[in-house]
Amino acid sequence: MTEPSSNVDESKSPARNVAVDTTEFFGCPYLDSPRWKQLSAFLQRTNSTLIVPEVVVREAERHFRTALTGALRKAEATGADLKRLLRTDSVPIPVFDVDQACRDYHRELERLLKCYGAIVAQYSGVSIMAIMERCLANKRPFDSNGQKGFRDAVI
């Protein structure tokens, strides 16, 4: 998310579409960081629209699951260390249903995006043929070998 220039009189600027990438969700899955708050203020001030590609939403959800399972593994490892160090048989470790937590996150992310007035840009209308033509012609966003760039082409 690039920060808007403070030297621009935004009241005279036309409304914009502002798109975000998956990295904006890393470290801030609930969109409550100062950067997200700044973006919210900008969107309201300029009557602009937040566009979030569907692939970005799905990647954010996948990242949430990965971070959650990683944190759970760390908690289990820490619990094992504490049991050994404290010579005890029980150290409380949070127990929860990861799948349910991910479903809850999905619903919460949808709610948060609605609060931002976001439009989730669906990729169901993306033509695989058009993407393949770009890939085979080594056109951006694909690299010179046509190997990388599919995700960006979908966005």
According to the model, what pLDDT value does residue 50 have?
A: 95
Q: Is the peptide bond before 141 cis (omega within 30 degrees of 0)?
A: yes
Please name which of 116, 105, 107, 108 lies closest in space to residue 66, comparing C-alpha atoms.
105
- pLDDT single digits (tens) 82-123: 888 888 888 888 788 999 999 999 999 999 999 999 999 887
Angle, CA 123 vertex, CA 122 and CA 127 arms, to 5°: 145
pTM above 0.75, yes or no: no
